[in-house]
Each structure stands twice: as structure tokens, then as C-alpha cells.
Chains A and B, each alone.
Chain A
Amino acid sequence: MTDASTSTPSVIERTRHIAAGAPIVGAHFLGRTAVLVLGEEALLLVPEEGEERRVAVHGGGILSAASDGARVVTGGDDGKVVASGANGDIEILATDEKQRWIDRVATGPDGAVAWSAGKTAHVRTGKGEVRTLEVPSSVGGLAFAPKGLRLAIAHYNGVTLWFPNAKAAPERFEWRGSHHEVNFSPDGKFLLTAMQEPMLHGWRLHDRKDMRMSGYSARVRSLSWTADGGWLATSGAEQLILWPFSSKDGPMGKTPRQLAAFGVRVEVVACHPKQEVIAIGYEDGLVLLVRLDDGAEILAKKPDKVPVSALAWDGAGTLLAWGAEDGKAGTISLA
């Protein structure tokens, strides 16, 4: 460690390597158990101690996954919405009557779950009541607001905000173009979408002021908020792009912070749940941890030409899981 320029500190030796046997499309933690979402049929449960376990959840492709920390909810091309626990128990929450694809899922407060098939969005409350809303075009993304039972539904030309338990008509936030991933800021003041074009769009909710966040080289597929909600970390560029949200104007009129540039596209980002540290997965397989205050980098996985497709922290921030398109995965203990 005498030459700092050639030896980035590394945590690679703390990795437990996993061969998932299928492309990994998502990662979550249920307590100390990593849950790797495979492209087809199954989840792979990786408890901190003990054997990995494959749990069959869908009779086909898994199109979307989300977690509230208690369960991982998945939507499949078999038309099913399935909730899985860390012990491998599964519950089928819904089955589409026409067996349409469940394109998107989201988890909300008090056990609420949302999913969409084509233009139809559904919410199942914690009590098990299901409500349905049709939007003008196919749903590109779903997200619950941080407080109250309120769902954002992204679609073509905007986002619909819906209180499933209220009689009030859904509210529409319009912006031309196709909106995919949708996200509330943790303080609930801003609503953000990733568009088909390589840019983000945002609205300040109280005055509906538009925000355009552009400059990306690819569609933004991964969005993650830092622990204090001060920064939005994003993929889609050849470096980590962080938009400032600590002031009341959010990123309006500001330039983003750019970190960890390697000339390789960032595919997935995951903010540490407690500290200002961000895990970054790159197109060439590299995984880095970056500390925001000084930009210090720690190597978590060496590049191997296979894009990183999933990253997740456990709630304590002492376990990191990564997964790749070729089915390789790892968990890293940072305790």
C-alpha cells in the first residue's frame, strides 16, 4: 500500500462468490439475507450464514421486483404478483385474469403493493383490498410516495398521482415523451422520472415546476437517494451523476456532481442506507464504493467485461450484494 496511485483500497477479499446460474436482474435484502432476482422463474436466497436456496416464484420471465424490507414482490410474464419472504415462503398476491404480463411492481407503506399490466395499475392495500386505475398508456414505472397511500404512475406524456383510498380524481403531471422509472424524493417534495430519452424529468409537487436533468449518454435505469435525501444518484453516464436536492429548489439551475469517471458507463447505483457512500456498478463489471465528502474510492469487484445488473445494501449497511448479467453474484461483508 505504498503507492496509492496504483492501489485503490479493496474489499474484494471479503466477497462470498455465488453462481446464480441465470442472469440477475435485481437484488434486495430481507434482513441479513440477500435476495437475487433471476431473469426467469426464481429468486436465489443467500442467507448471511448457510446455504443458498432457489425459490421458484414465476412460471416464466420475471419482469419487475421491489422490496419493502419484509418481502420481495415480483411481477412475471405469467400474470402473477408474488411476495416472497426470507424463509422462502411465497404468497401469490394477484393473478391477472387474462394472464397479461405484470410489467411493474412497487411496494408501499403498511404492506401496500402496486403492480401494472399494460395500461392498468392496481394497488393492494395492507388489508388486502385491491383498487384499479386505468391510465392513458402503458405504465412505465410505479412508486409510492414516502407518506400516505399515494401512488405515482409513469406513462407516456407524464405521471398520474393517485390516492387509491380517496374519491378525488387522480392528478396528472404532464411532460411530453415516454416516462419510465418514477421516484419521489424522500421528503416527498419532488417527483422524478427517467425518460425514454437519456434524461430525467422532475416536478416540484407544490408548484408543479418542471425540472429537466439531461446530459446522459444512455437511458437512466437506476436511481437511488442518499441516506439523508440530499442527493439523487443516477446511472446512464460514464461517471456517477449526483443531483443536489438539499435546497428547496432541488437541482434547478444547478449542475450535478460527477464522480468516479472511468470512461465506462454506469449501469446501476445503490446508496448506502446510513452514510454518504454509493455503490456503483459499471458496464464492464467493475463495482466501486465512493464516499461523497472526499470522492475516495474502494474497489468491490474487478471488471470482467460483464455488465453489473444489480446492487443492494442491507438495512444496516454492512452487507453489499452485486449481481451480473451472466449470473455471477457476490455478497461482501463490510462489518
Chain B
Amino acid sequence: MSESTDKIPVTVLTGYLGAGKTTLLNRILSEPHGKKYAVIVNEFGEIGIDNELIVNADEEVFEMNNGCICCTVRGDLIRIIEGLMRRKGKFDAIIVETTGLADPAPVAQTFFVDENVGKRTKLDAVVTVADAKWLKERLKDAPEAKNQIAFADVILINKTDLVTDAELREIEARIRGINPYAKLHRTERANIALSEVLGRNAFDLDRILDIEPEFLHADGHDHDHHHGHDHKHDHSHGGLKHYHDEDMQSLSLSTDKPLNPDKFFPWVQDLVAKDGPSILRCKGILSFKDDPERFVIQGVHMILDGDHQRPWKDDEKRSSRLVFIGRKLPEEKIRNGFASCVA
């Protein structure tokens, strides 16, 4: 994995129209961090900062000619990143701003599907900016907004000054109902430490440390998150409301019994091949029988990436955990399939 260190990190910025993406982008570019960013935007003129490396993108989503409907890539991004690489050394990282209606998946898949892009850059994280006041409405009427929440590694609940504390907790609960694994931040005018949005390594297999759901941090309701591995995310905590989203859910599987790799890999490959269109993201830490090393996987729709990560520590509980975020996930089928992979 040493080669990944000279790859240029790419942050994908999503968020529904008006949520505050451009505010966040301007903030990133104007802070005195001493770094240079190449910025790929969907429209010129919105960025208030002078930056010679701003590229206009057309958001061209191309299907790969391999019969797989969800294997889409951003054709314009392949072209732009190839072009930017001519100027390697002139910037430290790339930020891709998507339109409010964009699906983040083709952007993410571009980094796994195109060999040339994958050789020179690495996806760092999908950061979604959500409007505290309007997200609730958008989750009802805009599938794109829900997609962006479900896909995110980091979510900024922005414009918190425009809502009451109760409204804020409700919107957090709704987000958690869709994506319990993203890092959540409350912001006003996209005011956030840049280290929370950049350099996250969210797609780096080496950085998959734990995949416990992020519980809601309600004031005065501090509780221990790291109790038993068998608890499920889908019950309420600290008296906070829980929302179950009708069409977008997460599914968490775990077992303390070692898995049989000869059963697990065919199963998971078949699962993403068949149900890939409904699986947005997946992530797992796995313990295989007679294998002294942790195995980690992560995926986007039908694309899976996996590797041995490090030896299990002596004092570490060897258990397997696999999570999916997706649309109308066939829960029973997935649970049964996973259970059948036990060695």
C-alpha cells in the first residue's frame, strides 16, 4: 500500500441545491492552510477565490459497456484528471464539487473503474452538505438528496442557526435513519475545521478501524457506544427519536464465529453482482478461520475492494462485521447469506 501515498487525494463535495457547498468550497480555498487545491466545479463564477486551478466539468455520466447498469463513471472527470496530472506538483489535492442533483456514485466509481485515474489519484471521502432547515422536506421529495446522505462519509448539517434545537435533533435522527456511519457535524455557514472534511481516507482499506454506527450525541445523554458487538443500530438511544426511512436503510451484520473465505467471497461477489444497483456503500472487517490477519473490504454498488489489513491483536476480539447502506435492501436474504458463510 506504499504506492498509495503519492496518489493525489480527491474529495467529493455533494449536497442538494442551496445547502452550502459553495460556501464550504470557498472556505476551504480561503483558509491559510498553505495547500493548493485543484477544484473541479460544475459551474464557473460561483467561486469567490482566485485559484488558477479551477476546471469546469460537464457532469457527463457514462455507462461502461459491460452490461452492468450501475457501473457508471464520470467521463468528464476521467478527461479532466488526466489533464490535471499534466500539472502534477502544482497542487496537493483535488476537490470535485457536484451539482445539487448529482448522484455521488458515478464520481466515486470513476476512481475504481478507470485504471489511469486510479493509478494517480485516490478517493478520500464523500462530503455532503445538508441544509438543516430544508433537508427534511428534500428527503421526502428529492431522491437525489437522500442518495447524497446515504453515500456520505462526512455530513455537515449546515445553517443550524436557522432551526431550533429540537428541529436539529430531529434532522440528525432522520439522517441517522439512513446513514448511521457517516461523521456528522453541525455547522453555520459551513464553518468547520478543514481536517474534518479533508484527508479523511474514508476509502482507504488501511483506515477502516471500526464500523460502529455513530450514535447521536445529544446533550447530557452521553453514553458508552462500545458495548456489546451484537447490539443493533436500529433502536433508539438516550430517548432520541428513531426514524426508519422507507426506501433507504443500513444493514449491519456481525458474528463472533470465524468466516469461511471460500464461502464468503463467492457469496459477497454474487450479492453485489445481483443487488449492486440497490447497494450504495458497504464496508466490512472480517475474521476468517485460521487467518491471523484482519481482512477489510469496502465497496460502491458492484465494485468491491478488499485486502488483508494487519494481524489481529492478542487482546482484540476476533469478530466480523459487515455493513451495507442501500435502497430497499433484501434484508432477510442478506442476513441468511452472511450466516451461511460461517466456517
Chain A residues near B (Cβ < 8 Å): 23, 25, 39-40, 60-63, 77, 98, 100-101, 103, 118-119, 137-138, 140, 156, 176-178, 195-197, 199, 218-219
From the candidates A25, A119, A219, name the one contacting B116 in the complex (CB within 8 A): A219
Contacts of A25 in B (CB 8 A): 86
Q: Chain B, interface size: which category?
A: 20 to 34
What 4 additional pairs, Cβ within 8 angstroms, besides A63-B83, A77-B86, A103-B79?
Answer: A61-B83, A61-B87, A138-B58, A156-B75
Q: Is the CB of A40 within 8 A of B60?
A: no
| Interface assignment of B5: CB less than 8 Å from any CB of chain A | no
Number of residue pairs spanning A and B whose beta carbons lie under 8 angstroms apart? 69
Question: Looking at the complex, which one of A61, A101, A118, A196 makes contact with B78 (CB distance below 8 Å)?
Answer: A196
- Asked if B275 lies at the interface with its beta carbon under 8 angstroms from chain A, I say no
Interfacial residues of chain B within 68-105, with CB under 8 A of chain A in the complex: 73, 75-76, 78-80, 83-84, 86-88
If the complex has contacts A138-B79, A196-B114, A219-B115, are A40 and B87 also in contact, measured as CB distance less than 8 A? yes
Contacts of A101 in B (CB 8 A): 55, 80, 83
A103, B79: Cα distance in complex, Å: 8
Contact call B64/A156, Cβ cutoff below 8 A: no
State the Cβ distance, A204 to closest chain B Cβ, in Å: 20
Q: Are A61 and B84 in contact (CB under 8 A)?
A: yes
> Which residues of the partner chain A approach B58 to less than 8 Å between Cβ atoms?
118-119, 137-138
A197 B64 Cβ-Cβ under 8 A: yes
Q: Which residues of A contact B60 (CB under 8 A)?
A: 137-138, 156
Q: How far is the CA of A138 from the CA of B78 in the complex (A)?
A: 11
Q: Is B336 an interface residue (CB 8 A)?
A: no
Q: Is the interface of B mostly helix, strand, loop or mixed?
A: mixed
B-side residues, CB < 8 A to A, are: 44, 52, 55-56, 58, 60, 62-66, 73, 75-76, 78-80, 83-84, 86-88, 114-116
- The chain A residue with its CB closest to the CB of B86 is A61
Which among B58, B63, B79, B115 has the greatest number of chain A C-beta atoms within 10 A? B79
CA distance A196 to B74 in the complex (A): 11
Which of B62, B66, B83, B114 has the most C-beta atoms of chain A within 10 angstroms of its own C-beta?
A: B83
Task: Write 7 A-B pairs (CB below 8 A) sorted by A numbering.
Answer: A61-B87, A137-B75, A138-B75, A177-B65, A196-B73, A196-B78, A197-B64
A178 to B75, CA, bound (A): 8
Cβ contacts under 8 Å, A177 to chain B: 62-65
Residues A176 and B65 in contact, CB atoms below 8 Å apart: yes
A119 to B58, CA, bound (A): 9
Distance in angstroms from A76 CB to nearest chain B CB is 9
| Interchain nearest-CB distance for B72 vs A (Å) | 11
Give the distance in Å from the alpha carbon of A177 to the alpha carbon of B62 in the complex: 7
- A102 to B, closest residue via Cβ: B83
Point out the residues of chain A lying under 8 angstroms from B65, CB to CB.
176-178, 195-197, 199
Q: Which residue of B lies closest to A217 (CB)?
A: B115
**Which of B62, B75, B80, B87 is close to A60, meaning CB atoms less than 8 Å apart?**
B87
In the complex, what distance in Å separates the CA atom of A63 from the CA atom of B58?
A: 18
From residue A283, how far is it (CB to closest CB) to chain B in Å?
11
Q: How many angstroms from the CA of A318 to the CA of B174 in the assembled complex?
A: 71
> Is there an interface contact between B66 and A197, defined as CB atoms closer than 8 Å?
yes
Q: Report B-chain residues with C-beta under 8 Å of the C-beta of A98.
A: 44
